[in-house]
Amino acid sequence: MASVVCVFRSSFSVPLKEKKLLDVKLGELPSWILMRDFTPKGIAGAFQRGYYRYYNKYVNVKKGGVAGISMVLAAYVVFNYFRCYKELKHERLRKYH
């Protein structure tokens, strides 16, 4: 996700590989996805960028609150709920399971 955005948009356009997702036109989407870096290093880079994006927005601020970690914990609870859904399905309040 290189954020090379040209200043002179009118004179020449940004190559497809380096566009951000919101700048990609709908017809170009499959080729954009195929051009992404799916090597382990690329995937690790994506996780790292995502982590720092969240961290710098919600935790690494001057007066951070409890919202930063509680969103992570709520997402963790939802993730575990998805994980256990198969067993929890049988504990619903239904007349016929």
Partner 1 sequence: MMGLPIVIIITMFPSIMFPSPTRLINNRLISIQQWLVQLTSKQMLSIHNQKGQTWALMLMSLILFIGSTNLLGLLPHSFTPTTQLSLNLGMAIPLWAGTVITGFRHKTKASLAHFLPQGTPLPLIPMLIIIETISLFIQPMALAVRLTANITAGHLLIHLIGGATLALMNISTITAMVTFTILVLLTILEFAVALIQAYVFTLLVSLYLHDNT
Contact set with partner 1 (CB under 8 A): 51, 55, 59-64, 68-69, 72-73, 76-77, 80-81, 83-84, 88
Residue 19: burial class (beta carbons within 10 Å; 0-12, 13-18, 19+): buried
Given the complex with partner 1, which of 43 and 73 has the nearer CB atom?
73
Q: Between 14 and 59, whose beta carbon lies closer to partner 1? A: 59
Minimum distance between the CB of residue 26 and partner 1, rounded to whole angstroms?
34
The residue among 46, 45, 47, 72 whose CA lies nearest residue 58 is 72
DSSP 8-state code for residue 2: -
Q: Which is nearer to partner 1, 42 or 50 (CB)?
A: 50
For residue 77, the minimal CB distance to partner 1 (Å) is: 5
For residue 62, with 0-12 CB atoms within 10 Å meaning exposed, 13-18 middle and 19 or more buried, which class applies?
Answer: exposed
